[in-house]
């Protein structure tokens, strides 16, 4: 049911902000940066699901439609292998009428080992 939910979310975004190519290109970033994190269970201080399981989290359409600050890029591709980049630039843009202050935090999440030995059985 994720595909119909995302399609409906995108339709609401385009209806509110206009059907321009710029709005359509920014939809993914808006949904990523306003998503709600998904804890692994309902206990207090539960770690978050891994990105492999939950992606950016649950789309929060209300947040995406009413946000006053935009962040880009919506994801950091750390690529800590052959194409490592030690510095990443984040851009915050305040679209609101009032001055804002921001803090950056790190929330630990589960991980998935996606690189391992491959054994073919014939």
User: Over the stretch 59-69, which tens digit does the pLDDT of each residue have?
Assistant: 999 999 998 88
Residues 116/46, Cβ–Cβ less than 8 Å: no
The per-residue pLDDT for range 48-60, each reduced to its tens digit, is: 777 777 777 889 9
For residue 90 the two structure tokens come to 């984040």
Instruction: Give the CA distances from residue 60 to residues 2, 30, 32, 86, in Å, rounded to whole numbers and listed in that order.
Output: 13, 10, 9, 31
Mean pLDDT of 82-99: 86
Planar angle of CA 106, 98, 100, nearest 5 degrees: 20
What percentage of the chain has pLDDT greater than the value 90?
Answer: 21
The owner of tokens 């995406």 is: 64
Domain residue ranges in the chain: 2-94
């Amino acid at each position: 049911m994720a595909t119909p939910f995302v399609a409906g979310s995108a339709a609401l975004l385009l209806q509110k902000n206009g059907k321009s190519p710029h709005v359509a290109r920014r939809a993914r970033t808006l949904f990523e940066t306003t998503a709600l994190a998904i804890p692994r269970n309902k206990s207090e201080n539960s770690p978050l699901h891994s990105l492999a399981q939950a992606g950016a989290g649950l789309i929060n359409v209300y947040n995406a439609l009413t946000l006053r600050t935009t962040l880009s890029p919506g994801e950091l591709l750390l690529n800590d292998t052959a194409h490592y980049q030690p510095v990443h630039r984040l851009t915050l843009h305040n679209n609101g009428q009032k001055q804002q202050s921001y803090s950056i935090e790190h929330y630990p999440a589960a991980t998935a080992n996606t690189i391992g030995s491959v054994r073919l059985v014939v």
